[in-house]
Amino acid sequence: MADYAIGDLQGCFTEFKLLLEKVNFNPSKDILYLVGDIVARGPDSLACLRYLKNLGDSVKITLGNHDLHLIATYYLNKQPKKNDLLDSLFSASDFPELISFLQKQPLAIWLESYQTLICHAGLSPHWNIKTALTQANLATKKYQSDDALYYFKNMYGEGPLIWSDELSEVESFRYTVNAFTRMRFLTPNNEMDFIHKDAPHNTPELQPWFKHPNIQRLKNTKIIFGHWASLLGKTDNENIIALDTGCVWGKELTLLELDTGTITTQAAI
Ligand SMILES: [Mn+2]
């Protein structure tokens, strides 16, 4: 019985299967957590989604920006971007079922026994774990509700860039989605920055969200996230675990065994 977390798949199905074989993943006893961005840019997003859906209760996913964008594209009846390589998914006979499977997944997962938060991009430094889970749960219910179309229509846009208890329902939805799925850097005013994607040493004018003092002082809490391939797994904090190591960009796919902290990787093919 083992619990694993794995970084952004982005359609890298071959590497995903090889990595699971390396750790002898057994879906009848093991649990696999995915930090999101299952789809887009890589060669086989369709196979990734079908495989995960068939694993049933042994897989848990926190949605990434690409996953939410896929669901929104479906809801808004739009065509996928060519460079996302999603044409075969959109023409698949089981496309609606795969969208529905993805839509059932939350923005954040709290693992009490590991005192660990799992999410795609990170934890807003304006929130403690309890507030973050409350906001994640509220936003998740909105994109799963009968009003999902309304929320997908209003999901896009960068503001508000800073959290406030005074935000409207739609504003707090957008802030929550952006913080959990798109955040990387913060400005000196603690606003989220959505322009820069490079490694922190190339972006000294901005602060990575996990370097904020409110995050650094979370001593007995771990945060597992993906989304930021240019970190290459480096956060300088053993409790802040970056699992996106850029498989889709020709680097590698990373898997963490939660109990032991053991890292296993599979190079991009
Ligand atoms: Mn992402």
What pLDDT sits at residue 158? 76
What pLDDT sits at residue 69? 97
C-alpha 203 – ligand 1 centre gap (Å): 19
Instruction: Give me the residues of the chain with pLDDT under 70, please.
Output: none
Lookup: tokens for 259: 């109990």
| Residue among 109, 113, 105, 119 nearest 224 (CA) | 119
CA distances to 11, 63, 66, 118 from 79, in Å: 18, 20, 14, 30
What pLDDT sits at residue 266? 98
Under a CB-based contact definition with an 8 Å cutoff, are residues 119 and 33 in contact?
Answer: no
C-alpha 65 – ligand 1 centre gap (Å): 5
User: Virtual CA dihedral for 8, 40, 18, 7, nearest 10 degrees?
Assistant: 0
C-alpha 181 – ligand 1 centre gap (Å): 6
C-alpha 268 – ligand 1 centre gap (Å): 18
Please state the domain count of the chain: 1
Q: Model-level pTM?
A: 0.97
C-alpha 231 – ligand 1 centre gap (Å): 13
Per-residue model confidence as pLDDT tens digits over 176-193: 999 999 999 999 999 999
What pLDDT sits at residue 219? 86
Range of the domain at 124: 3-267
What pLDDT sits at residue 112? 98
C-alpha 156 – ligand 1 centre gap (Å): 15
What pLDDT sits at residue 157? 84
What pLDDT sits at residue 79? 94
**Residue 84's domain is classified under what CATH number?**
3.60.21.10
C-alpha 195 – ligand 1 centre gap (Å): 13
C-alpha 184 – ligand 1 centre gap (Å): 10
Positive or negative torsion for Cα 235, 237, 240, 241: positive
Burial of 100 (0-12, 13-18, 19+ CB in 10 A): middle
C-alpha 244 – ligand 1 centre gap (Å): 9
Under a CB-based contact definition with an 8 Å cutoff, are residues 174 and 159 in contact?
Answer: yes
C-alpha 37 – ligand 1 centre gap (Å): 6
